[in-house]
Structure 1
Amino acid sequence: MESTTRERIAAAIREAPATASELSTRVGTARTAVYDHLRHVAQSIDDDEEFLVSPPTCRDCGFDGFDDPINDPSTCPECRSESIDEPAFLIED
């Protein structure tokens, strides 16, 4: 039986932290769709696991206080820079 996209994403981030771009390549789905899948994965993990997010970070001013860490912001709300590092995701036991 073939696993679902969400199962493949969860398996990937149980192994090592990954960004949406990296997950998109690994599981063969659009990067924008990965964020929707990650929201569901975050809600469906086992009770003994933790869904961790290294938030998006502005490369120019260092801002990382984005309202929604499972997001791909286009600009920094502090300095308006478009140089934003993608968030990274991990499931930890």
Structure 2
Amino acid sequence: MSPADADRTTRQRIADRLRDDEAAASELSEELAVPVPVVYDHLEHVAESAGADERFLVAPPTCPDCGFDRFDDLLGQPSRCPECRSERIEEPIYRIEGTD
């Protein structure tokens, strides 16, 4: 963590990271040294607090076995596919993008 990061909250660091580039929760967890479930908690708040000139975007989780991608909760990691019951679900990918 750089000295500049020391003054920012975890949510601010997540939001800044997602403004720079897309990321999965596991990537954010590794980069910010916080557990994945904590990242998911923060993502809910980051999504709600995106500025009026921003969009919080989510590439949904996907089942590599059957291609299902219509999961209900886009701010969490599903445990299994509702179609084929596979547990090999690819993580959702998050990004914050300006609307200009």
Fold agreement, TM-score > 0.5:
yes
Into which bin does the TM-score normalised by the smaller protein fall?
A: over 0.9
Question: Highest Rg: 1 or 2?
Answer: 2
Corresponding residue number in structure 2 for 1:40: 45
Aligned residue-pair number: 93
Instruction: Give 2:3's aligned residue.
Output: none
Of 87, 92, 96, which residue of structure 2 is paired with 1:91?
Answer: 96
Structure 2 unmatched ranges of 5 or more: 1-5
Match of residue 6 from structure 1:
11
Give 1:80's aligned residue: 85
Tell me which stretches of 4 or more aligned residues in structure 1 moved more than 4 Å. Answer: none
Find 2:67's aligned residue among 56, 62, 69.
62
Q: Percent identity?
A: 57
Question: In the aligned structure 1, how far is the partner of 2:76 from the partner of 2:69?
Answer: 12
The two structures have a TM-score, normalised by structure 2, of 0.90
Give the Cα–Cα distance (whole angstroms) in 2 for the partners of residues 8 and 58 of structure 1.
29
Aligned to 2:54: 49
Please report how far the alpha carbon of residue 13 of structure 1 lies from its aligned counterpart in structure 2 after TM superposition: 0.6
Q: Unpaired segments of 5 or more residues in structure 1?
A: none
CA distance in 1, matches of 2:67, 2:76: 17
Amino acid at match of 1:42: A
